Amino acid sequence: METVLHSSVREPAVWQGSHVLVRQPAELTEIYRQGVNLCVWRRSLSPALGPWLEEVCSRYTLHVVERVDVKRADLRSALAELPDTQEREAWSEELHLLLQVYADLFEARWLGVRLTTLDQEMCPRFHVDRVGVRLLCTYAGPATEWVENADVVRSGLGPKGEVLRLGGRVQRLERFDVALLKGEAWPKNAGNGAVHRSPRLPPGQRRIMLSIDAVD
């Protein structure tokens, strides 16, 4: 499989404070820049896949937590309970693509993969992750919320603190965004992890979330 990180078509990244918005997967390397703790690849999937994923979210419960060898990465078996359709195969290929993108970007052999259907907030409070870089992508339902560095009161992180500065605002990723969030374990990034939380889910609403980390 040809890696998408070497695409010859590039569009300029959009910088805003400590985050950067890109339109090509090759530009996800912006996460390596000092001072950037959130890099978002904004994209869309095929028109047929979106409604199919919403149906999967409403009818099935996924709970995939695996340590994956990227050289043999294949999540088809994890999706075996879903109807055998072109959409399922397209989603399998999409998931494989993101595993490969992450592995290429960070030269990782082993990946911690979590693909879950959620009916409540997994991490309802603003927090930072104790990892190097985490990839997040929401396939159905509302996406992850986050706060720009300049709007964060880091001393307020914790169970009862207030993290939003006066005049600051909570921002939200879009469905299908591929977001790279630097954590506290990234070199020289202690005290600067991307601040984020799970979105509020009204009763009866669900979401499908993918996360990828590098693991030993």
Q: Is residue 4 part of a domain?
A: no
pLDDT tens readout for residues 46-70 = 899 999 999 999 999 999 999 999 9
| Alpha carbon distance 195, 68 (integer Å) | 27
Q: Is residue 1 part of a domain?
A: no
- φ, ψ at 156 (rounded to 5°): -90, -5
Q: Is residue 154 part of a domain?
A: yes
pLDDT reported for residue 13? 59
pLDDT tens readout for residues 124-141 = 789 999 999 999 999 999
H or E element: which one contains 209? strand 207-215
The CATH number linked to 146 is: 2.60.120
Q: Is the dihedral of CA 38, 121, 88, 215 positive or negative?
A: positive
Q: Is residue 8 part of a domain?
A: no
Q: Which domain holds residue 72?
A: 20-215
pLDDT reported for residue 14? 57
Q: Is residue 33 part of a domain?
A: yes
Decide: 112 and 212 in contact? Cβ < 8 Å.
yes
